[in-house]
Structure 1
Amino acid sequence: MQISETPIPGLLVLNIPVHGDNRGWFMENWQRQKMVAAGLPDFGPVQHNVSYNTSAGATRGIHAEPWDKLVSVIAGRVFSAWVDLREGDSFGATFTIEIEPGVAVFVPRGVANSYQTLEDKTAYSYLVNAHWSADAEYTNVNLTDETIAIDWPLPMAEVSDKDKAHPRLGDVVPVPPRRSVILGADGQLGRALRALLPDAIALTRADLDLTDPAAYDSVPWDDVDTIYNAAAYTAVDAAETPDGRRAAWAVNVTAVATMARIATEHGLTLVNVSSDYVFDGTAESHTTDEALSPLGVYGQTKAAGEAVTSTVPRHYIVRTSWVIGDGGNFVSTMQRLARDGVSPTVVDDQHGRLTTAAELAAGIVDLVRTGAPYGIHHVTGGGPVKTWADIAREVFEAEGRDAADVTGVSTKVYGEGKQLAPRPRHSALD
């Protein structure tokens, strides 16, 4: 099996072995394992359609359906033509080829498909990754458009009135790319992601109740390619209370299960952000393959969310640590205390690295855009490992205060008389 590229990006020609003998022939017209290994996208077909054409010259198209498809011929022979109707530099690019058994073509969403039968009794096959719907919107271009100038080999026969009425290329509205969805778009990370993904569907807590599965039905998932889950219950101490425990599980696990189901059903990429709290902090630096060992409820829910996310074929679990961004955070609190003349007591036996929301968002988007391997990734700020007290002293010095105004204290002493959740002693992610 061989796969070759064409002048239209993403449009691929497959040469499939045909095995013949005195009885006829046999071929594996769809063989996921072999085809994906050869370079075909794992596009997840869900419906198989066959178009039977009685006479040579029957001409159909040119249609850009809102799904990917693998087209081939079961019997007979066709002249096929494609026109790129996607938004971008390749808009209007064309490609033609004759297809017979043993040749198939992968057609990405937004590339318009057409064919003309070259023999009587031709059966044309479409393997598609979305169920046909009467409500689906198609983008079309006219079969005889002078701009694309397709040289049809036979006089056109049996062209439908609908196909005859398709617009010229100059009147076609290009098919836009699929969009991303950002959940938790009003949080620190969500706002940083919105800055990098201005065309994304940004949903805040006011827009969508993450804990209501029915609420997700309002999102046009067929037009989406990636879900960025920047939403989370992060009140670590409150998660140890009865109400907080239920809220943490609802947002960090049950809602993620809904996202995972949607991503799997629609073939989407799911990005779920996790935490150093999935570890107990006994190791000084945590690797991506370290066994999970959360200490408290928050860490337990993030670990469970990771397990749910891992069931999605296309997923990224992005662990990070000590995130600060636009809004209230440890650094801004220390700045305020320094300016107000306060001399705080800060924990000096918890170790980790600060991560700005901006650099976390940039790392996440880079993973997706570069097609990094699916699975677990660590994205944090760089530099040496520090304690919270170290960071507080740096903030005080930057504000013109004496670093000695910050007093270091152990976690045990700091927690006396307080209801605090257990925290990992070491939070650095390798």
Structure 2
Amino acid sequence: MAELAVERTPIPGLLVVRLPVHADARGWFKEGWQRAKMTALGLPDFGPVQQNVSFNTRRGATRGIHTEPWDKFVSVSTGRAFGAWVDMRAGASFGTTFTVELDPSVAVYVPRGVGNSYQTLEDGVAYSYLVNDHWRPGTSYPALDLADPDAAVAWPIPLEEAEVSEKDRYNPRLADVTPVAAPRPLVLGAGGQLGRALVAAIPGALGVTRAELDVTDTSPGGALETWPWHDHDVVLNAAAHTAVDAAETPEGRAAAWAANAAAPAALARIADAHRLTLVHYSTDYVFDGAVAEHAEDEPLAPHGVYGQSKAAGELAVGTAARHYLLRTSWVIGEGHNFVRTMQRLAGDGVSPAVVGDQVGRLTFTDELVRATRHLLESRAAFGTYHVSNGGDPMSWADVARRVFALSGRDPGDVTATTTAEYAVGRAMAPRPAHSAFDLTKLRATGFEPEDAAVALERYCVTEASRP
């Protein structure tokens, strides 16, 4: 008896599953669907919600080629059938064809956008299929001519001898089919430093700003609920209320909790409902900064409203089945940030006092994007990861001195001060004294963070060359 196995095919995502069939004089038994075993072998955990059975009375009954708007897991209960699949998705694999004979020992996982067809090879064939969306009357989907010369399916029983429905005799040919659009990654908060970097670097990503999609509108029938989520497969949530000091005010507190806690909670529910992968970005502010380096499993202990709202958002995101929670720190990208401020001060001849008792690592947006893509493309285990640039931790004063040196100024022109001294006369939220992350878990996935000092030099040179 063959072992359970999952095999790839020329059509991306279309998988053949070899099922052990236990037979004796009484008949046979098989595990037609075994989530734990099959997903361990690479089958997507596609979340079936409906099971259907198709019984075919006579040999030669031929159905399809249909491209239903859901993922499908097909297996034969009795008899034998010939299965044919044609990739109808936009992209390099459009039009690719695959065929295999189906019996009780062979099942096939069919991703959305791949056309499927079945021809019975004997009388009394029943096959069942699991789908991850409910069938609804009036559902329409692309179909393909069974005799299309480009797909060139080698039907065991010639179509002129087969039983084909009237509808399936008049489907369009491949040249006339509009390809099924691939789901696009969706970047929320596309107007910020990180959001802009994600849109620029992730192929096919659709970026939306708050003006286009207000993530804080979680009301029934509101912006989040009515967004066309079926157009996407990954949601990258770079939207956040990041005004740390303003979050301590009554108005800022409400805004922070809406954007940093309520919105991620709604996105987690949406991700599960639509089988999306949710990538969410959080912060070192969820910790109290009492230890030199923070590991992923350190208990949350935020001081201020910003950190508290982000911690609440983390707890909500953690309930999503497919999630990457990326904690990061000291983000530098395109837009207003600490490094640009120091470059401006250096150019203006200012000699600033900069906090020297807050220690961490810079995270450049291109590095955060690179880590995001790595986790998604390598299909790393879902969960929480700490992401920053590497190298030795530095204080803000250390960073400022390096920026001054790279700007042609004497680094001694930067004076170190304490957080307490800097806060005198200012309405400031509490900051963690230590923000550096332990990057062991990220490195274990095969990702090596670039040294922050190297990235800082490149960033400063690039900024200095701008007109």
TM over 0.5: yes
Question: Which residue type is aligned with residue 9 of structure 1?
Answer: P
Aligned match of 2:43: 40
Aligned match of 2:378: 370
Shift of 1:148: 2.3
List per-residue Cα deviations over 1:120-149 (Å, max 9, x = no partner). Answer: 232221211122234544232211112222
- Decide whether aligned partners of structure 1 residues 19 and 323 sit closer, same or farther in structure 2, where only a CA change above 3 A counts: same
Q: Which one of 81, 84, 89 corresponds to residue 81 of structure 1? A: 84
Aligned match of 1:194: 199
Point out 4+ residue stretches in structure 1 off by more than 4 angstroms. 134-137
Q: Secondary structure, in 3 states, of the residue corresponding to 1:418?
A: coil
List per-residue Cα deviations over 1:310-355 (Å, max 9, x = no partner). Answer: 1111110111110122111111222222233322221111111111
State how 1:16-165 maps to structure 2 within 5 Å: 16-134=19-137, 136-156=139-159, 157-165=162-170
State how 1:347-386 maps to structure 2 within 5 Å: 347-386=355-394
Matched, 1:289 2:297: yes
Aligned match of 1:171: 176
Overall identity of the aligned pairs, in %: 60
Q: Distance in 2 between matches of 1:105 and 1:232?
A: 41
Aligned match of 1:236: 244
In the superposition, the TM-score normalised over structure 2's length comes to 0.88
- Decide whether aligned partners of structure 1 residues 327 and 7 sit closer, same or farther in structure 2, where only a CA change above 3 A counts: closer
Q: Distance in 2 between matches of 1:413 and 1:19?
A: 76
Q: Can you give the 5+ residue segments of structure 1 that lack an aligned partner in the other structure?
A: none
Q: Which one of 10, 13, 30 corresponds to residue 13 of structure 2? A: 10
Shift of 1:410: 0.8
Matched, 1:277 2:285: yes
Shift of 1:217: 3.3
Q: Distance in 2 between matches of 1:339 and 1:34?
A: 62
Tell me how large the CA RMSD over aligned residues is: 1.8
Q: Secondary structure, in 3 states, of the residue corresponding to 1:140?
A: coil
Q: Distance in 2 between matches of 1:124 and 1:65?
A: 17
Q: Distance in 2 between matches of 1:137 and 1:207?
A: 28
- Decide whether aligned partners of structure 1 residues 401 and 14 sit closer, same or farther in structure 2, where only a CA change above 3 A counts: closer
The count of residues paired between Structure 1 and Structure 2 equals 430
Q: Secondary structure, in 3 states, of the residue corresponding to 2:260?
A: helix
Q: Distance in 1 between matches of 2:129 and 2:399?
A: 60
State how 1:378-417 maps to structure 2 within 5 Å: 378-417=386-425
Question: Which residue type is aligned with residue 324 of structure 2?
Answer: Y
Q: Distance in 2 between matches of 1:333 and 1:37?
A: 49
Aligned match of 2:208: 203
List per-residue Cα deviations over 1:275-314 (Å, max 9, x = no partner). Answer: 1111111111112222222121111111111111111111
Q: Distance in 2 between matches of 1:342 and 1:95?
A: 68
Q: Can you give the 5+ residue segments of structure 2 that lack an aligned partner in the other structure?
A: 439-467
State the structure with bigger RCO (CA 8 A, min sep 6), 1 or 2: 1
